[in-house]
Amino acid sequence: MLPEISILAKEAGAFFSSNPGIRQITKRANTVLTAAKNMSLISINKVEAAALVPCLSAIDSNLDWGTPAKSDPVIHSQGGEICLKKFCETLHSHGPEHVLITHGAKGAYLFDGKTLHHQEVIPAKVAGTAGAGDSFVSTLAWGLRSGHGAKQALLQAAHNASSVVSFVNTTDGLLNADELIIRASS
């Protein structure tokens, strides 16, 4: 249903964010890429990104992943290291306006069509990790949709995720819009 949902979202002018999981990517990569044409934001982790590499390579036989510079963030795929920015550019060329790659303790990377932005993890006293990813992605989508810009939206998302992990449950740490704006501007 993902492609159909993406079409309806596009027709309605909605900001459509999707976080396809590893099962969708490995078993239905073409469906994910078809839906990606209508996504405002696609959010995947580094493992899911690596799983998409063969599909993207198969679609474009002329695609050259190149060799990343030593300072470039990379994805570790079956064929070796791939420059994260090149991966994001390639996925972006299939439709999503923004490409988010979460990278665990290394933070998150957001490609906005021009620039690969990096956001480090904001330290927190961790009481539980449930809800951290959902709060990060939903806050990022809200920030982008609200016109806050990629760097600001990433920072807001990191603050919300940091707050959420400071609590055992998934809701007590959620920050409201005013709190997000204040924390991200200090």
Cite the DSSP H helix spans in 62-171: 84-92, 132-145, 150-164
pLDDT reported for residue 63 = 86
Query: Whole-angstrom Cα distance, residue 131 to residue 171?
Result: 8
> How far out from the chain centre does Cα 123 lie?
20
pLDDT reported for residue 185 = 86
From first to last of the 186 residues of the chain, give the pLDDT tens digit. 899 999 999 999 999 999 999 999 999 999 999 999 999 999 999 999 999 999 999 988 788 998 999 999 999 998 899 999 999 999 999 999 999 999 888 899 999 999 999 999 999 998 988 888 999 999 999 999 999 999 999 999 999 999 999 999 889 999 999 999 898 887
Tokens encoding 11: 């027709």
pLDDT reported for residue 62 = 81
pLDDT reported for residue 129 = 86
pLDDT reported for residue 88 = 97
Buried b (16+ CB within 10 A) or exposed e, 121-134: bbebeeeeeebbbe
**Residue pair 125/157 in contact by the 8 Å Cβ criterion:** no
Query: Whole-angstrom Cα distance, residue 1 to residue 69?
Result: 39
* Domains, the chain, with CATH or none: 1-118 (3.40.1190.20), 121-186 (no CATH)
The residue with tokens 């309605």 is: 12
Angstrom CA distances, 13 to 79, 95, 142, stand at 38, 15, 15
